[in-house]
Amino acid sequence: MPLENFTVKSKLKDYEVFFGEAAEYLPRLAAGPDCVFAIDENVWRLHKDSALKSLESAPKVILPIGEAVKTLESVQLLYDRIVGFSPKKNMRLVSIGGGITQDITGFAASTLYRGVKWTFIPTTLLAQADSCIGGKTSLNFKSYKNLVGTFYPPTEVYISAGFLSTLVDGDYLSGLGEIAKLCIIGGAESAGAFADALAGLLGREPAALTRFLRLALEIKKGYIEEDEFDAGRRNILNFGHCFGHAIESATGFAVSHGIAVVYGILLANIAARRRGLLSEDAERSMRDRILMPLISSAAAAAPFDGNLIIQGMKKDKKRTGAKLALVMALDGFKMARVDDLEETEAAAAIGEFNRSV
């Protein structure tokens, strides 16, 4: 059966996103010349005797994955391993894992031989619903999150629902957090549909998951095709990330990325309401119908240290001036980015949220 697919338009190179099971494409990739596979060690452990069986004798690098290894040093180690396979410029790097695997291998692919073909097979809901398209690679540098990176789209992306069956609840909820963000950005219809389907999504109903994974990608696709290099409109996709990345850092990454984004949206909405840009009714509806059910299910750590979060926001690479950057939701599901958020406003939003939990 042919894989359902769509094309993402890119000024660098268009690329295809395919939907199907691993058995439909992995044997072909494994048999191809000059392919090297880079695989998250947890994904390899869970699927080496099933979905990844065809890669048993393929050239591969098994990667220990975690936020602490999303660094240039890890890329250098990957270079060393790849060079051991005597690669050629026409090689293809196939990366299998979540967003951290994508960042490390995508950066390596963008710089090895000044760029080699690479294929991404996302295995987490977070990567399948969000990061697999857009062409960004991001690495941490010292205490700065995602400071170093490139724009380098994959040659192709393969999305297989089978990999999601082994996700622990925390990773699954992290993915739902990013889907929620994209549905809110998409407008009243997609946000309302997500809220109505949330019970089924929390219960991992396959039909609901497939529907909203595809919807999230369609919403993101519209933004990245219009503004591929983050010069304007694509910045809206950072909704929830300004506070969210700082929450990740402030908690030592005890809060997963997608749930940190949900917290970030809650805080951004408080800041927008306090500025008179978002009505109390709109904030309450978004909070009660979409955001708090995800927080309650995740049982993630709160309240937060406001000083640590603000220090993290100061390191945000999206800042363009002396004040803080923030993407806000406005009434009518309009979105806006501001670059003049005062530290006192951020502190007030954090304080109000902490008093409510």
Per-residue model confidence as pLDDT tens digits over 57-82: 999 999 999 888 999 999 999 999 99
On the 0-12 / 13-18 / 19+ scale of CB atoms within 10 A, 257 is buried
* Residue 338: CA count within 13 A, CB half-sphere: 17
**Average pLDDT estimate for 131-160:** 93
Determine which helix (DSSP H) or strand (DSSP E) holds 121, and give its type and residue range.
strand 117-122
**Contact between residue 323 and residue 341 where contact means Cβ atoms under 8 Å apart:** yes
**Average pLDDT estimate for 193-218:** 95
Domain coordinates in residue numbering, the chain: 4-166, 174-356
* Residue 305: CA count within 13 A, CB half-sphere: 10
**Contact between residue 141 and residue 147 where contact means Cβ atoms under 8 Å apart:** yes
> Which residues have a Cβ under 8 Å from the Cβ of 339 and sit 6 or more positions away?
319, 320, 321, 323, 324, 325
Residue of 298 and 84 predicted with greater confidence: 84
pLDDT for res 298: 77
Strand, coil or helix: 112: helix
Q: Is residue 300 pLDDT above 70, yes or no? A: no
**Average pLDDT estimate for 341-356:** 96
d(CA 236, CA 338): 10
* Separation in Å, CA 70 to CA 59, 62, 150, 199, 201: 22, 15, 14, 33, 29
d(CA 279, CA 229): 32
Q: Is residue 3 pLDDT above 80, yes or no? A: no
Enumerate the β-bridge partners of residue 36. 93
Band of pLDDT at residue 321, cut at 50, 70 and 90: confident
CATH T-level fold of 4-166: Rossmann fold (3.40.50)
* Residue 222: CA count within 13 A, CB half-sphere: 11
For residue 15, the tally of other CB atoms under 10 A from its CB is: 18
**Average pLDDT estimate for 220-227:** 94
Phi, psi of 283, deg, nearest 5: -65, -45
pLDDT for res 54: 95
- Return the percentage of the chain with pLDDT > 90, whole number: 85
Q: What is the pLDDT of residues 77-120, one digit of tens each?
A: 999 999 999 888 899 999 999 999 999 999 999 999 999 999 99
* Separation in Å, CA 113 to CA 61, 116, 236, 296: 18, 7, 33, 47
Give the class (CATH, top level) of 174-356.
mainly alpha
Q: What is the pLDDT of residues 327-340, one digit of tens each?
A: 999 999 999 999 99
pTM for the structure as a whole = 0.92
The structure tokens 């359902």 sit at: 4
pLDDT for res 275: 97
**Contact between residue 308 and residue 314 where contact means Cβ atoms under 8 Å apart:** no
